Structure 1
Amino acid sequence: MSETKLKIKIDLVITNASEVITCLGEGMRDIGVLQNAWIAIKDGKIAAVGTEEEIKQEFILEHSSIIDAKGKVVAPGFIDSHTHLVFYGTRVEEYAAKVAGLDPQKIGIAAGPNRTVELTRNRPAEELFEQSKLRLMNMLDYGITTVESKSGYGLTTESEIKILEVSRRLNKETPIDVLNTFLGAHGFPENLTKAEYLFKIVNEMIPQVGERGLAEFCDVWCDEGYFTAAESEVILKAGLQYGMKPKIHADAYSYIGGSDLAAEMKMVSIDHLNYTPIEVMEKLAEANVTGVLMPALDFAVAHKRPFEARRMLDLGMNIALATDLCPACYTESMQFVINLACRLYQFSVEEAIKAATYGGAKALDLDDRGVIEEGKLADLQIWDVPTYKHIAYELGTNIVETVIKNGKIVVSR
């Protein structure tokens, strides 16, 4: 041990953890479980992970904050790589009608994404902030420490920028890291043709978003009735000129080449994948494109063709799980997503945990989190259960007792 390390005072130490889920193993099944482990935290980062003897030998623990995790599990904070966090109102009446087997529009209920655009577009930024902040803090209670937030419920330059600015404020004023994705290509405004709107996205929206530095990523919905693969390529290449890394909604309701484009462009992620052919899954695995899967969305809309998660995993694709929090899929809980992934999509418990942590980091091109390792951000959660398998076993309960973000306790129950 170095003399320098002997002199370091630790800010926080987690002791006696029944299990520490490092997520450092090879492949999606190996989550690197350590038993009876300690974690030392300094200046917002993980200083060391090891036995009691190793931690006490390396660091000064006097006056450090201590969390006794005896009989509990420590895991990386969940990383939610696909949300539509900023919107106004709900579509609860639409959902209630659909689960009753009714057509909302036939009984006079406004439905679909355009209803959310109508509710969101002209709301004051302060109202959007307050409603979205409530959702975000609930996500933190469920162990989510990093969130991707898409625009797309404005479909005008002004309103898309407003949504992204609200997300930026949420990043600054809450403990959670919020990364922005520009998704002006989420649909079409009623007053423009598709060609006119495509021109506006490329020549007006993307330059203004890019010049303001409002988004890390650019996304597009590539599906029948939305944008073609060729149109998607034009949009995403325009985003790249402003430093926005490409993502894509593809193969959700049809296969029209969006997933092939994801492999060709080596995109950060491809999300949905319900209609993706096996040979394209192989291309995505080879190109190291992360597939973002959203069991709660398929569940909420009763999707007629659930994605083939088991096949993607067996082909070696890197997979992320995400909530897809939005008016059509209103969940703030990654634990619920894991419940569904394991029971309905044949994920092992280990694969589901890794997809919700390490996989989420990959889907956001982040290498400083998603695992428990020296030098990584101290974004951690402590589960009040004796073994990690409870994350899939306990249905609808919140097993998170403590959340640590950047080395600071932000949730303690």
Structure 2
Amino acid sequence: MNDKPKADAYVTGASEIVTGLSEDPARLVRTNKASLAIKDDRILSIGPTCQVEAEVDVSAATVIDVAGKMVAPGFVDCHTHLVFGKSRSREFALKMTRTSSEIEAMGLDIGIPASIRMTRQTAEDELFASAMDRLSRMQRHGTTTVESKSGYGINWPDELKMLRVNQRLADAQPLDIVSTFLGAHDFPPEIDRNRQPERTRYIDTLIQEMIPEVAESGLAEFCDIYCDDGYYTAEESRRILQAGINHGLRAKIHTDAYSGIGGSALSADLPAISADHLNHTSPAEMKAMAKAGVVGVILPALDFAVAHPRPVTPRPMIDAGMTLALGTNLNPGNWTESMRFVILLACRNHGMSLEEAFLAATIGAAKAIGCDTEIGTLESGKKADIQIWDIPEFEHLIYRMDFNPVVLVIKNGRIVFDNDRS
């Protein structure tokens, strides 16, 4: 009698399976001539082919023969501004040769205020359609889970509009969408942020009205804020993030991008689930974040896009014991949809090894959104979120610069992208 569990799908013929392990986010596991069995949306068994076939009945399974290609977990993009109105392409091109003040003198809005204006002016259906288009390309690049922030509304109607788009995206396509409320990405452009009464009034609105509405509606899992010079102070950030925590929203923080004003220390004190950017984070703050279990999310594509004067340095964070994650920071000023490109930049420009960068783009990123028990590695019991690469060896992931190695993507146990049929 065959009492082995029966698989629905059987991924076999791989030259190698590359993955991390849940219990050790710094360990890369590479298994040659391996296979993987799937039941419903979960991995039943993974490992050498003889082991999988001994553990699982694959006789009636749909065979997915990957013919000598490489198998890896789907990428987890843990920091995006996926939903936005229009583009800032002209601003970006002008910045190659002109300063921000020169561009503003030409009558152009730039930066976050430009994105706020364009997003407010864009109807919800158009925001949804453009985000769907970006998501389809992210999927083709091997991403299977995407965190999506609001933050270009900076008033309740438009923040709500963005959060509704996140919900519609989650319902309309196969990738998992993790929604984050970022009503404190900036101050409303119609107020004077340097006048304390106006500044305080908006913060009170966030704490007393917007955060409770977000929590009650269930439209977000996280509350985020931009803590940096010219934006929110560390004390203001504490008030806002604590209000989110009090309403069941876990804390995230953009901080130390252009100055160190205490945001990283705050992330350790709360603690936040992640602190993102970290260009100006001190060694003492790194140690505190490591001790508190705060994931450091670094954004190499942003540093590249803005020619950052102080690019992030991951090595001291790794040495301090921090878990690191990578994100695209997809936004109108840094239109990046490929996590493989981010891995390449992390290695070439920021001194990470390929193994460290890959783990940061999978299990590290899953930890940054609290999903590491479900995704981020290929292990029995986890979701079958898988990408297949047509490359001869792992190192080609960064060796070949301008290409996409992904030929097949499986999400929740189902094929959602097949390059041979696209």
The answer on 1:348 being equivalent to 2:346 is no
The superposition leaves residues 244-277 of structure 1 with CA deviations (integer Å, 9 ceiling, x where unpaired) of 1000001011111110010111210000000001
- Correspondent of 1:56 among 53, 56, 79: 53
The answer on 1:235 being equivalent to 2:240 is yes
Name the stretch that deviates more: 352-361 or 13-22.
Answer: 13-22
Q: What is the aligned-residue RMSD (CA, Å)?
A: 1.4
Counterpart contact for 2:354–2:398, Cα < 8 Å: yes
When normalised by structure 1's length, the TM-score is 0.97
Q: 1:59 offset after TM fit, Å?
A: 2.2
- State the SS of the aligned residue for 1:291: strand
Partner of 1:178: 177
- Correspondent of 2:378 among 361, 372, 378: 372
- Equivalent positions of 1:171-210 (< 5 A) are 171-192=170-191, 193-210=198-215
Amino acid at match of 2:230: G
- Correspondent of 2:394 among 388, 396, 404: 388
Unaligned runs of 5+ in 1: none
CA distance in 2, matches of 1:59, 1:277: 50
- Equivalent positions of 1:204-223 (< 5 A) are 204-223=209-228
CA distance in 2, matches of 1:373, 1:379: 10
- Correspondent of 2:37 among 28, 40, 45: 40
Counterpart contact for 1:39–1:46, Cα < 8 Å: yes
- Correspondent of 1:13 among 10, 15, 39: 10
Counterpart contact for 2:20–2:26, Cα < 8 Å: no
The answer on 1:252 being equivalent to 2:262 is no
Counterpart contact for 1:322–1:356, Cα < 8 Å: yes
The superposition leaves residues 29-50 of structure 1 with CA deviations (integer Å, 9 ceiling, x where unpaired) of 5211111111000011000012
- Equivalent positions of 1:77-92 (< 5 A) are 77-92=74-89
Q: 1:135 offset after TM fit, Å?
A: 0.4
Amino acid at match of 2:39: K
Amino acid at match of 2:282: P
Counterpart contact for 1:25–1:31, Cα < 8 Å: no
The superposition leaves residues 101-136 of structure 1 with CA deviations (integer Å, 9 ceiling, x where unpaired) of 343212332211111110111322111100110001
| Alignment CA distance shift 1:162-1:73 (3 Å) | same
Counterpart contact for 1:122–1:159, Cα < 8 Å: no
Counterpart contact for 1:25–1:32, Cα < 8 Å: no
- State the SS of the aligned residue for 1:17: coil
CA distance in 2, matches of 1:25, 1:11: 24
Partner of 1:303: 308
Number of equivalences: 410
Counterpart contact for 2:363–2:375, Cα < 8 Å: yes
Q: 1:326 offset after TM fit, Å?
A: 0.2
Counterpart contact for 1:93–1:109, Cα < 8 Å: no
CA distance in 2, matches of 1:92, 1:382: 32
CA distance in 2, matches of 1:136, 1:56: 35
The answer on 1:24 being equivalent to 2:30 is no
- Aligned identity (percent) is 47
CA distance in 2, matches of 1:175, 1:25: 24
- Correspondent of 1:70 among 67, 72, 97: 67
Amino acid at match of 2:374: D
- State the SS of the aligned residue for 1:381: strand
Q: 1:25 offset after TM fit, Å?
A: 7.7
Partner of 1:160: 159
CA distance in 2, matches of 1:3, 1:270: 50
CA distance in 1, matches of 2:130, 2:67: 37
When normalised by structure 2's length, the TM-score is 0.95
CA distance in 2, matches of 1:270, 1:106: 34
Counterpart contact for 1:71–1:385, Cα < 8 Å: no
Partner of 1:137: 136
Counterpart contact for 2:25–2:363, Cα < 8 Å: no
| Alignment CA distance shift 1:173-1:84 (3 Å) | same
CA distance in 2, matches of 1:325, 1:392: 20
Amino acid at match of 1:173: A
Counterpart contact for 1:215–1:244, Cα < 8 Å: yes
Partner of 1:359: 364
CA distance in 2, matches of 1:70, 1:387: 14
CA distance in 2, matches of 1:346, 1:62: 46
